[in-house]
């Protein structure tokens, strides 16, 4: 058999990718995890995890760091801050190109690249990104000490991150396009009982305004159509994530949303290529479902590598 650099390459070092790395490396498969960032995925941006089995409470960063150390303890190679610039999954031996100057081969691939923050799509949004608009409370909350900020969204992330922001800011105004929230009851309750948080419902953002930095937003009531201005020192947008699959489009089967289509064993339409975590078609997206995907993908990849294509 042709010699390869690795038995398996995992693209993405979030909870799905790290879990896959733990299982593959523990099975004595030579494994590499690569990530364009510092690793940890969205998990590392979450300030508090309270619903991961076996863990009462810890930060997303702590959990991600522990997973990374586990993978390394089983001799899984991890390379971060590298860019995937090309790949060829059409042959039995798969190859990836890093930073346009290095080619690495493996017999199996697990794609666990997660997602990127969904944008509102308002033209002025790009102008103020990093100049008053943020998508990460953990990353940027400290920059808004004593300020008045707006958060946009009605899901768990929007409400939980709004509560987190009250550690730093003077006030948080949650703007949501509906008159109800899609979050869990506990998240809604925590936000409503926080004295620093107020709500503007049935409202959407029309425009971001300011000179060099954001200083106000134009809002529209979705019931009455009334338009008004609201001053703010910053805006945090939490309206979900999009699968980070653009580079794989046309090479791997996806749905209309850009999510990779994978079966129960996480295998894609390409033999030896698996998808795990938020990047694949699925209804529920939680840390525990991502780690479950990573485990299954690793077990399926191990069977593939051993030449056993039977059921799990």
Cα(66)–Cα(177) distance, integer angstroms: 38
Cα(115)–Cα(118) distance, integer angstroms: 9
Catalytic residue check, 140: yes
Residue 6, classed as helix, strand or coil, is: strand
Catalytic residue check, 136: yes
Dihedral sign, CA of 265, 300, 81, 251?
negative
Residues comprising the chain, all counted: 312
Burial of 76 (0-12, 13-18, 19+ CB in 10 A): buried
Cα(24)–Cα(107) distance, integer angstroms: 13
What one-character DSSP code corresponds to residue 264? T
The one catalytic residue in 140, 148, 190, 253 is: 140
The one catalytic residue in 75, 88, 99, 139 is: 139
Residue 102, classed as helix, strand or coil, is: strand
Catalytic residue check, 295: no
Cα(51)–Cα(67) distance, integer angstroms: 16
The one catalytic residue in 136, 190, 253, 295 is: 136
Query: Active-site residues: which are they?
Result: 136, 139-140
């Amino acid at each position: 058999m042709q010699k390869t650099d690795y038995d398996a390459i995992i693209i993405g070092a979030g909870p799905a990718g790290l879990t896959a790395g733990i299982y593959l490396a523990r099975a004595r498969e030579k494994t590499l995890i690569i990530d364009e960032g510092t690793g940890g995925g969205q998990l590392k941006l979450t300030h508090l995890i309270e619903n991961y089995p076996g863990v009462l409470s810890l930060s997303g960063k702590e959990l991600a760091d522990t997973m990374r150390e586990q993978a390394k303890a089983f001799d899984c190679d991890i390379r971060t801050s590298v860019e995937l610039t090309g790949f060829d999954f059409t042959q039995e031996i798969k190859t990836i190109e890093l930073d346009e100057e290095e080619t690495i081969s493996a017999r199996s691939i697990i794609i666990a690249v997660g997602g990127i923050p969904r944008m509102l799509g308002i033209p002025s949004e790009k102008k103020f990104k990093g100049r008053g608009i943020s998508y990460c409370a953990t990353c940027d909350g400290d920059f808004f000490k004593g300020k008045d900020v707006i958060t946009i969204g009605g899901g768990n992330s929007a409400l939980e991150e709004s509560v987190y922001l009250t550690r730093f800011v003077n006030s948080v105004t949650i703007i949501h396009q509906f008159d109800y929230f899609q979050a869990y009851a506990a998240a809604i309750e925590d936000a409503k009982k926080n004295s620093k948080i107020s709500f503007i419902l049935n409202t959407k953002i029309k425009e971001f305004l300011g000179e060099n930095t954001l200083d106000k937003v134009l809002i529209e009531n979705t019931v009455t159509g009334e338009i008004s201005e609201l001053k703010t020192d910053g805006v945090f947008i939490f309206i979900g994530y999009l699968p980070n699959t653009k580079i794989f489009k046309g090479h791997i089967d996806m749905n209309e949303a850009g999510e990779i289509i994978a079966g129960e064993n996480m295998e894609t339409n390409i033999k030896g290529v698996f998808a795990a975590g938020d990047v694949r078609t699925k209804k529920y997206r939680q840390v525990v479902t991502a780690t479950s995907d990573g485990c299954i993908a690793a077990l399926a990849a191990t069977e593939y590598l051993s030449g056993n294509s039977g059921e799990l």
